[in-house]
Amino acid sequence: MILDASLSMLIVGAAAFLLGGSVKGAFGFGLPLVAVPLLASVTAPATAVSLMFVPVLVANIWQALQGGYYRAALRRFWPFILALSVAMIISVQFVATVDPKTVSWLLGFIVASFSIYQLIPLEFTVLRRSEIWLTPLIGLVAGIIGGISGLFGLPLVVYLVTLRLPKDEFVATMSICNLIGSLPLFGMLAWHGFLDAEIAVASGIGAVLAWLGVLAGTWSRNRIPQKTFRKVLLCLLVLAGLNLFRRGLF
């Protein structure tokens, strides 16, 4: 039972929410990416993902509304959101037939390779006119990956890095897309019985801890210069990609 957890489980859980929230506050993503592996070390993977329900909703709603960027984000990235939602709803039906390790190492290789490339002087940038066809295409790719693995946010991060959005706009865009994109995922978890009353209570407690982490991360982001923000973000993506690659191979 989640609410009858041992002291060690509670400590790991609290650390997972606080650390994940801090990364989310600073960079606009990373709450499930950081927290789920830690939670999965003390509970079942499906339970770990389900515990993200309230923290993800609270953190993304708050960050999406900050600065009023959500209107511009919806106007610019609605093709991504639409393509993501449709692709995720379809692809999640085939989750049982796809090897998650293959998805993990392939996605990890792509993310790490791209991020390392972006760290060198010769950098790739998407032209604004290319967004007409590239934005929905990235949405489809993210939806397919998200339906199979739940990691739909990483392709979006990689794409937004190439668009060179200002850091606050980047965070708001990530949050509004993550908020809408997570609804099909949590809907499927609820449909299959992983989101019950006990999980909801534990998730709510986790949201308080994650919120404290988000506030700390936001405080640090407000003091990070744009160039430093981008470099740290890319380094974080390299680590995330390498970790996914490792999980897919071992």
pLDDT digits 0-9 by tens, 181-231 = 888 778 877 887 777 888 889 999 999 999 999 999 999 999 999 889 988
Maximum CA extent, the chain: 54
pLDDT the model gives residue 22: 94
Q: Phi and psi dihedrals of 126, rounded to 5?
A: -80, 130
Number of domains in the chain: 1
pLDDT digits 0-9 by tens, 146-195 = 777 667 888 888 899 888 889 999 999 999 988 888 887 788 778 877 77
Domain that includes residue 9, residue range: 2-249
pTM of the model: 0.82
d(CA 64, CA 81): 14
Gyration radius (Cα) of the chain, Å: 17
Most confident of 52-56, 85-89, 144-148: 52-56
Whether the CB-CB separation of 176 and 70 falls below 8 Å is answered with yes
d(CA 241, CA 229): 18
d(CA 59, CA 23): 11
Would you call 40 exposed, middle or buried from its count of C-beta atoms within 10 A (0-12, 13-18, 19+)? middle
pLDDT the model gives residue 218: 93
d(CA 145, CA 95): 10
